[in-house]
Every structure is written in structure tokens, then in C-alpha cells.
Structure 1
Amino acid sequence: MNSMKLELEVIEIKDIRFDRKTSVKDHVLHINKEELIKYLQDPRLQNIDIDLARPGESVRIIPVKDVIEPRIKDDGKGGSFPGFLGDYEGAGDGKTIVLRGCSVVTTGKIVGFQEGIIDMWGPVARHCAFSALNNVVVKADPQDGIEPSDHEAAIRVAGLKAAHYLAKAGLQGIADKREVYQLPPVSKELPKVAIMYMTIAQGLLHDNYVYGVDAKKLHPTLLHPNELLDGAIVNGTCVVAADKQTTYRHQNNALVKELYARHGVDLDFAGVIVVPVRPELKEKERCCSGAVNLARTIGVEGVIIPEEGGGNPEADLMMTCRACEKHGIKTVLIIALEDPLADTTPEADAVIDVGNDDEVLTLEPAEKVIGYEEQIQLLSGAPENCIADDGRIRIPLYVITGLHGSLIGSHVKGVAY
């Protein structure tokens, strides 16, 4: 069988700067600011600007909507993010250029209260993996009178377009390393394992996109893990910042990479089952049943179920766990236990806690703010009047973008006392 083979041609980016021409030279990403702004023009947006934030600088980005790694297919067509800016054919297969060490961060006036913050220095940087990246920040505000859903859609597409634009500069570059992802047949008898990928699809700014399709419209879907690594899922949810699976996290899924490393060693990695997380009970039951039927169809013996978000998604998590175990499929749940669980089940006897986010940090004033610092008081989890008269800010870890999530790669951990 001709199995899918994804080759990531990785170019290491160690610095970013504005220049007359967008290019990559000696590990520096040069950016024509005016050209990029022109490329991002959208009738739904105004005040579009591009700024730069490097590791260690006294720079605060707020409110953060998404983080995206610049990538582009090296197939003669140069597409990115299938369903948005690229073709469906070839996703998860062939060569993809990756600018590693940098990202696109989107900000601007707040869309929904569950957005976040990235500091490039200080205590936030110790907890935020994105603080270690060279960040190209797209700041854009909505035109007067547009609906929040249109605002979210416009800024989401702007981020993807910026990542696509930057990645094009890598097409003429020389890769520093090549990462190959392929699942060869396993010659010995090993337990067959899949990821059940809980994907927020709840409406009201709580949606993700699979091949450009709103996940609310989907029945559970089986993906090859390469499709996930190659941009098949794009974040469109304003779920709590600490729990949010940014597009960058989907592209660099640490859980997928861990199972790849163990494929043929102590397990047989069978794929990724995307499970929409809906708010209605009937829809939860539909998605749970569909996911378990898919797992049974491909003959898996175990599944790992990472949660996205918290609260009512725990009903989906426990319902799916219970149904899997009923059919002899062992489950491991990955969850952030910062609050009492909204639901439990006795079958959930193997649970990974990715850490608590209630700890409060005191942040010093930034020398430079990209975005709107005063909107920190609107973020979910931030207390009222959290900005002191001297400019210092007190926030819980809750509002740090990508603090943990359930895809592993966390900078916090759960400890039993």
C-alpha cells in the first residue's frame, strides 16, 4: 500500500526584521511590511498593522486570538491550510516548507472574552511556549457595525494569509533539517491506538474548522495524523486562553509526535478521530456514538482522549470514555483539572492532569504593548480592576495563551499531594 508520507522541510528562523523585500537569509526572516499589509486588506477590517515581538523583549501582546506557524506546500501550487488557501489534494502528503522559530500572532480589539495574553519576557514567558518564538503580530480592528462572528472570521483568515505570505519566502530557501512522517505497517503484534480528538464546535465564537468546514457541520471523522500536522484543522474558537488549541498547536501536535515515535515500538498508531464537541445532548450522543463506531471499525484497542475547553465538554469526554470502555477499548483522558469536573464516570480510571491555572502572577508594565492592554479586564478569568495605579497587572495563569491545553507541551504540571 502506498501510505501517506509527509516531509517537513524545516528552515530555522532566529530573527525577524522589516526590510524592502520579504525573504529568508541566514536564518533571518525579512518582511516587507507595506506589501504584507496590502495583502491582508479586507473590507471587514480596519487599522491593519504589522509589528514584531522577539523573545526577551519587554513586549506584551493582548488580546491574543490565534498563533500560527508559517507553512506552505512545495508542490508547484504553493497552497496553505487546505479549505482556506490551499487544495485538499496533497494535504498530509508530499513536501511542506516550515519556518520554525517564528509565528504569526493575531490581535486587535477583542472578539470574545475568552482571548489571552503573550508576554515576551517575565513571568508569563516562563509559562508560555509562544514567548520563545519570533512573533510577527497582525493587529486589525473590525469595521464599525460588523457582527462578532464576521470579525472572528476576518481576523482568522488574516492570520492564515499572513502565515502563507511569510512561508512563501521559504520556497527558495535551503532546509536546515527534514522531518519525515509516515506510518509503515507494523510487523509484530502491538496494541492498536488512536487519538480521539475532541474539537470544540459549539457556536457563538466557539468553533474550529476541518478542511475549512465548520466542525459543527461534521460527523466524527477519521484523519491520518499527517493531515493534522499539515494544517487540516484551524482554530476558530475563543475558548479560554489557557485551554485553547491554537492553530500552531495543531500543526505541532506533541501528542501525535509522541505516538509517531512509539509506532512500531510498543504500539500501532491507527490515526486521529476528530470528534466535534457540541452543546446539545442529542448532538453529544450522536458524536460520541459516531466516534466509538469509527474506533471499532478500525479495530483500535486503546484511545487517548484530550479535552478541549472545560465545563460542558466534560460530558462529551466522560460519555465517550464510558462507551469506549463498554466495547473493550481502553481509554486515557487528558484534562486540566483547574475546577471541579462538570461530569465524571467510574470508567475514567486513567487520567492525565496537565496542570492547574489558578495561580496569580504580578506583571510589570511593558515597554511596548501591541494591541489593547486595557482589555485585559475583559478576559475570562481576569479579575476586575486588575490593573493597578502603578501599571502592574495581576492575572491568573488562566489568561495565558496556550498555557497547557490537552495536546501536551505544557509548561505547568499537575502534582498530587
Structure 2
Amino acid sequence: MKLEIGNFFVKEVCFGDKTFYANGVLTINKQEALDVVMEDEHITEADLVLAKPGDPVRIVPVKEAIEPRCKVSGGLMFPGVTNDLSLAGSGRTHALKGSCVLVVGKHWGGFQDGLIDMSGPGAKHTIYSKLNNICLVADTDEEFERYEQQKKNHALRWAGMRLAEYIGKCVADQEPEEIQTYELPPITKRSPEVQSLPGVVYVLQLQSQMEEEGYNALVYGWDTNHMVPTFMHPNELLDGAIISGSFMPCSSKISTYEHVNNPTIKKLYSEHGKTINFLGVILSNLNVNLVEKNRSAIFVRQLASSLGAEGAIVAEEGYGNPDADFIQCIVELENAGIKVVGITNECTGRDGKSQPLVALSEKANAIVSTGNVSELIELPPMPKIIGELESLARDGFSGGWEGCLKEDGSLIMENNAMFCSDGIVGFSVKTVVEY
């Protein structure tokens, strides 16, 4: 399977008479873009607001992030979701690098939503402060979930995907500034030199704890609560086979933007044929019941063993109850003789002294921590707000509470509410200091 990503590097975004890209400048016809957004009758009002790195801007409630892209050959964007079902991971996809569609609620937030600061001390916590963001700020008539702590945000998230594809199509006929090629031949048809290297798999555990459909991550449009661990080609992930869900404290979430730009997959690709034989991806899920956790762990072990894996990276989207899935998966792989490195955040309390994971094992002895979800973050007032700042304290954010917002606009919140700040797939901006 061969995938080409044709990159166009966006340095500036502005509005104009037509949507086009030239010389590092992405120009968007605002009315045309909003017409695409308003195709869903459930969206009652919408606007597009631009936010660039360094702007004195705070964005909240942020629900999703999507890179503007278009398929040029070999498939469709968002297969099985906004477009017909087709295989992802081959042909050519064009991407407007350095830009991002942020889906933002005009008023209402929830448990799974987050905050982004484009400047000041909060900007260091998230990669999105470094991007040219096209903020879709909208409201819907989905009254049935307006006052629910957890929201599916269906109309807004789907509008974000349509908008990202609309913008991405402006470079469909242009020659990319850079082409990145991702190609892995079938496992049994690799050269003896590659076959002699240690086989490594990447195990990605997607958030899928909600039994009701509409909240969990999607794979080709399929709710991951209904899946068992599945072997996938890494190109499928880099080409949009996975859509982020609308459940999980926000710092732990993997956005759709992050799925298609997964740094761990790209690093494994760069080492393929040099230090490792990159076998592919085992896509797993995170469950509620113990028997389901054990079943998924056994499936992962069987797949990894059958592939001949000697090493594995296991990444967990979430914390708390899913820690049991994470540790059990590591234990099963280690019991099969496969060396494992885990990637997860931790919940050590606001003082940092609590047990980091709900479940632990001596066999989980190589874990990369991407930070403490309960860390308190204090932020000064910001001159401009995109969305509604009051939602942080009012609407049940996992990192906000009544009283966290001060009259002058300054606030204190848990890292939980910082949008995708823990970067589980490898985007974490945090490091460890030894004292």
C-alpha cells in the first residue's frame, strides 16, 4: 500500500472573494465556506473566525480539530463518515500544513471540550497555538443535549469535516511543495534484510467506553465500542480512517488532526528498514467491563504474536477506568515475550502525589508519561475570546468548575480542560525534569 501526502505550507490565512492557495497564503471565501457548514439544518448559526500564533486570543469550548485536506486519487475523505465507505491509505492526498479547522461552540460546552490560548503562558500547553486556525464558531438546535454534561456534538463535528474538505479542495489541482511517501509492502514480501530486524507493532487504544452510539471514536464510520482489536496498515490512519470521538476529558483526547499526523507512526516509518521492521498497527479499544478488557488484551496478544512482533508501543486514549485495559494489554504482550513501551498520561491529583494509574503491574516497566491531567493551570485574562469563556465554569468541563473563572477573566483550571494537551500519539510538548 502506497500513500503520497502532498504538502502545502500555510503561513497565513485570510478571507477573500474566492477560496484559493498561493505563495503560502490560504484565502477563504467566507460565505461559500459557511454555506457548506449550513448544509446541516440542525446548525442554527455559524461564523468563521481566524486565530494565528501569537494572537491575544482564547478559544473555548473547542470540540474538534481537523486538518484541511482533499483526496486527489485513491479514495475519499472521511470514508464511511461524511463520504461513502472506501479504503483509505493509498493514492495521493493533499494537505494544507500549518492550518487547522477548529470546531468551537458559540455558547455551550461540555465534559469533553477544551480551551486553547494562542499566546501567553497557556500557549505552551498545546500544539494548536502554533497553527493558523480557522475557527468554526457555531450553535445548533440539538436541544436534547444542550444541558447534558456529555454531548455528541454531531452537527458541529460533521460540519467541521465538510468545511475541512471544502478548504482542502482548493489545492486539488496544484503541485505540492513537498511530497511525503508512505509505503509498506506486505509483511511476507519484505526483503531478508528487513525481515532480520526486530518486528515492532504500534497498538493504539481508542476511546470507546460509551455504549450508546455517537460518542466514541469511529473507524471507517464504525463505532469502536462494537469492535475487537484489528490489524491495520499505518497508511489507513494517516489517510483519515479514524475520526475522533466526543467523549473523554479533553487533554486526553486524540483529535482527528492528530490521527492523520500521528508522530509515532511517522517515527516508526523513519526507522523501518534501519533499526526495526515496522509490522503495522493493531487498533484496539477501551472497554468498561473486565471481561471485555481481558478479551481485547488477548486479541492484541494473538495478533502481535501471529505477526511475529518482538516489540510493541501501546498508546492509551484516556485515563482512569481505561488504565486497566492499558496495563492488561501490556501484561499480555509481555507474557508473550514481546517487549513493550507504553504511552499514557496519568492522574496523580492536583498535588501530584496520588497513584498515577488505576491499575499497575511490574511488567509495565517502561512507560512514557505525557503529563498529569489534574495539574492546576493558572491563566491571566485574554483580550479576545472566541466562543464563550463562561462555558468553562458553567457546562461541566472535566477541568473546570463553578468559581474557576474570575471576574477579570483570569482563571484556574485543571490540565483536563486544555485541548488535546497531553498528545498521546506523540505530540506531547511536556518533558521530565529530574531533581
- Pick the TM interval, shorter chain: over 0.9
Offset of 1:181 from its aligned partner?
A: 0.8
Question: 1:24 deviation in Å?
Answer: 0.8
Match of 1:233 in 2: 242
Change (3 A) 1:167 1:56: same
- The alpha-carbon deviation at position 363 of structure 1 amounts to 2.2
Change (3 A) 1:150 1:113: closer
Structure 2 residue 310 is the aligned partner of structure 1 residue 301:
yes
Give, in whole Å, the separation in 2 of the partners of 1:26 and 1:277.
44
Mapped partners of 1:14, 1:312: distance in 2: 41
Distance 1:391 1:353 in 2: 31
Counterparts of 2:69 and 2:347, CA distance in 1: 34
Cα offsets for 1:133-152 (capped at 9, x unmatched): 11011122220533468852
In structure 2, do the counterparts of structure 1 residues 144 and 175 end up closer, same or farther at CA, with 3 Å as the change threshold?
closer
Structure 1 residues 144 and 296 mapped into 2: Cα distance closer, same or farther (>3 Å)? closer
Give the CA deviation at 1:386: 1.7
Contact map agreement 2:400 2:414 (CA 8 A) in 1 = yes
Cα pair 2:65 2:255 within 8 Å, conserved:
yes
Aligned CA distance change for structure 1 residues 190 and 144 (closer, same or farther; 3 Å): closer
Give the % identical residues.
Answer: 37
Q: Deviations over 1:286-335 (max 9, x none)?
A: 22222221112212111110111000111001111111111212211112
2:124 to 123, 126, 142: 126
Alignment-derived partner of residue 62 in structure 1: 60
Counterpart check, 1:258 vs 2:267: yes
Deviations 1:71-122 (A, max 9, x none): 1110287x31111234544511111000001000001143531211011111
For residues 234 and 355 of structure 1, the distance between their equivalents in structure 2, rounded to whole angstroms, comes to: 24
Compared CA separation, residues 194 and 295, structure 1 to 2 (3 A)? same
Q: 1:144 and 1:125, CA in 2 relative to 1: closer, same or farther beyond 3 A?
A: same
Q: Give the letter for the 1:33 counterpart.
A: K
Partner of 2:173: 172
* Worse overlay, 383-392 or 154-163: 383-392
Task: Name the stretch that deviates more: 232-241 or 348-357.
Answer: 348-357
2:133 matched residue in structure 1: 135
- The letter for the 1-side match of 2:420 is G
Alignment of 1:190-339 (within 5 A): 190-203=197-210, 206-339=215-348
Q: Once the two structures are superposed, what CA deviation does each residue of 1:371-412 show, in whole Å capped at 9, x if it has no partner?
A: 111011132122431222222122233321121232112111
Show the counterpart of 2:415.
397
1-structure distance, mates of 2:292, 2:128: 34
SS at match of 1:242: helix
Is 1:387 aligned to 2:405, yes or no? yes
Aligned residues: 413
Check the 8 A contact 1:111/1:152 in 2, yes or no.
Answer: no
How far did residue 172 of structure 1 move?
A: 2.7
Runs of 4+ displaced beyond 4 Å: 148-151
The residue type equivalent to 1:384 in the other structure is E
How far apart, CA to CA, are the structure 2 residues paired with 1:387 and 1:400? 15
1:37-48 to structure 2, matched below 5 A, reads 37-41=34-38, 42-48=40-46
Distance 1:43 1:216 in 2: 28
Q: Which runs of 5+ in 2 are unaligned?
A: 349-354
Question: Aligned partner of 2:103: which letter?
Answer: T
Q: 1:112 to 1:362 in 2, by over 3 A?
A: closer
Deviations 1:197-245 (CA, angstroms, capped at 9, x unpaired): 1011111664100011111121211110011000011101331111111
- Report the aligned-residue RMSD: 1.9
From 102, 106, 110, give the equivalent of 1:112.
Answer: 110
Deviates more, 1:52-61 or 1:388-397: 388-397
- Alpha-carbon distance in structure 1 between the residues aligned to 2:335 and 2:91: 39
- Identify the range of structure 1 (319-328 vs 362-371) with the bigger mean alpha-carbon deviation: 362-371
Q: How far, CA to CA, are the matches of 2:82 and 2:404 in structure 1?
A: 40
Q: Mean alpha-carbon deviation: is it higher for 34-43 or for 356-365? A: 356-365
Identify the residue that residue 161 of structure 2 maps to in structure 1: 160
1:145–1:357 CA distance, 2 compared to 1 (3 A)? closer
Report what 1:34 is aligned to: 31
Q: Hey, what's the Cα distance between the residues in 1 that align with 2:368 and 2:54?
A: 32
Mapped contact 1:23–1:170 kept (Cα < 8 A):
yes
The answer (yes or no) to whether the contact 1:206–1:239 under 8 Å persists in 2 is: no
Distance in 1 of aligned mates of 2:271 and 2:417: 33
| Unaligned ranges ≥5, structure 1 | none
SS at 2:251's partner residue?
A: coil
Per-residue CA deviations over 1:24-54 (Å, capped at 9, x if unaligned) read 1221111111111111121222112211111
**Cα distance between partner residues in 2 of 1:416 and 1:129:** 24
Which stretch shows the higher mean deviation, 263-272 or 180-189?
Answer: 180-189
Cα distance, 1:416 vs structure 2: 4.3
What residue is the counterpart of 2:377 in the other structure? 361
- Partner SS for 1:385: coil
1:187 maps onto 2:189 in alignment: no
Secondary structure, in 3 states, of the residue corresponding to 1:207? coil
Conserved? CA contact 2:62–2:104, under 8 Å: yes
TM-score, structure 1 normalization: 0.94
What is aligned with 2:351? none
Alpha carbons 2:109, 2:391 under 8 Å: kept: no
Q: Secondary structure at the match of 1:237?
A: coil
